[in-house]
Amino acid sequence: MIGRLRHMLIKEFIQVFRDKRARFFLFGPPIIQMLIFGYAATLEIKHVPTAIVDYDNSQVSRDLISRFTASRYFDVRHRLADSRQIAAVIERGDAVLAIQINAGFARRVRKGQVAHVQVIVDSSNSNTALVGLGYVNEVTGAFAGDYQLETLQRTSPLAIARMPKIVLDRRPWYNTDMSSQWFFVPGVIGNLLLVIVMTLTAFAVVREREIGTLEQIMVTPIRRAEFILGKTIPFFLIGLFDALLISSVGTLWFKVPLRGSLAVLTLGTVLFLFCVLGIGLFISTVSLTQQQAMVTGFFFIMPSIIFSGFGSPISSMPTFLQYLTYINPMRYYQTVLRGIYLKGVGLEALWPHLAAMALIGGVMLTISILRFHKSLE
């Protein structure tokens, strides 16, 4: 058995690495994608395109506008003379936010009256709209607080000493700078491994069937179990190497700390690869052509990423979709990655997620192997 399996593995590695382009696509794109996603995937919204209409034209209104221009979250691109120009600017996509300061703004502020500032927002992108409105509230709230403090200092300095103050002492754990890169980079590792290993596993078997060599292999003395191992072990090893490669990029290039145990991370990666190999093998049994394998793989890949908590928390999803995430191995692997990288936790905290991946991987591999046997009969 060992001899036949060894020859099968040699055949697979020769088939994978004989093409220079194939060698590049196995290791080049993961590094490139890691760099691209590491910079592009972020929860922060900066330099929001903004237009401003100032009907007051006072020192107070100009002071408020200067708060927006000085902020890194706003990019004031248009100073409009008429509010009727706002619609055209937003429709062209030149601005996401439009801030209108009405006449009498300074007079109302000085009298302590309510001074309205109108904010028109392009909510076709609801996330950007909500975050942008939050930034506007912060800027206007700080402006109002500073103006009230200056007024009290001039009129009643003794009252300032008796005013209650609440100071918020922030103590963020694990990610002190609250960097989005530290949150997304570990998640990108799981996404890239999912795409690479699942695609390789599904396409390899389908390619044998499509070009007619599968039947030739099966009439040789090699057993079906040996054939399955020979098809999956190379991609398992390639997946481990790619995991090491892109993890090194995340740690060395993006400076994401690896605070936890490397052994636990390796164990989690091995279990996750078992799950992906099982899914890829299952795809190969239900696909007759490489095109069908590609479409079926896309059907699995996109929901796995969306339901993993990579971009949005699972708790914000509808309840019935939250239950579906329990059969998604990516959900558990994302927790393992972020737990080991950022929190430095070990088996005492991650064993339920590792056990879930072991269970899913065992079930998927069993179903796929049984299905594969049936497809060969």
pTM for the complete prediction? 0.80
Instruction: Tell me the two tokens of residue 144.
Output: 């109002």
Flag whether pLDDT at 281 surpasses 70.
Answer: yes
d(CA 126, CA 132): 10
- Where do the domains of the chain lie, and which CATH numbers do they carry? 2-41+179-376 (no CATH), 48-162 (3.40.1710.10)
Question: In this predicted structure, what is the pLDDT of residue 316?
Answer: 82
Question: In this predicted structure, what is the pLDDT of residue 125?
Answer: 77
Q: Once rounded to an integer, what is the mean pLDDT over residues 110-129?
A: 85
Flag whether pLDDT at 339 surpasses 90.
Answer: yes
211 exposed, middle or buried (CB, 10 Å; 0-12, 13-18, 19+)?
A: exposed
Categorize the per-residue pLDDT at 358 as very low, low, confident or very high, splitting at 50, 70 and 90.
very high
Lowest mean pLDDT among 27-36, 44-53, 112-121: 27-36
pLDDT per residue over 48-79, tens digit each?
899 999 999 999 889 999 999 988 889 999 99
Flag whether pLDDT at 377 surpasses 60.
Answer: no
User: Are 201 and 359 within 8 A, CB to CB?
Assistant: no
User: Which residues does 107 contact at the CB level (< 8 Å), separation at least 6?
Assistant: none
Strands (E), the chain: 48-54, 74-80, 97-101, 117-121
pLDDT per residue over 288-331, tens digit each?
788 888 888 888 898 899 899 887 888 888 888 899 999 999 99
Instruction: Tell me the two tokens of residue 306.
Output: 């969306």
Q: Once rounded to an integer, what is the mean pLDDT over residues 114-120?
A: 88
Nearest to residue 294, comparing CAs of 189, 201, 187, 193? 201
Cα dihedral 71, 76, 80, 86 sign: negative
User: Which residues does 201 contact at the CB level (< 8 Å), separation at least 6?
Assistant: 231, 232, 235, 276, 277, 280, 281, 283, 284
Backbone angles phi, psi at 242, to 5 degrees: -65, -35
Flag whether pLDDT at 212 surpasses 80.
Answer: no
Mean pLDDT of the chain: 83
Flag whether pLDDT at 228 surpasses 90.
Answer: no
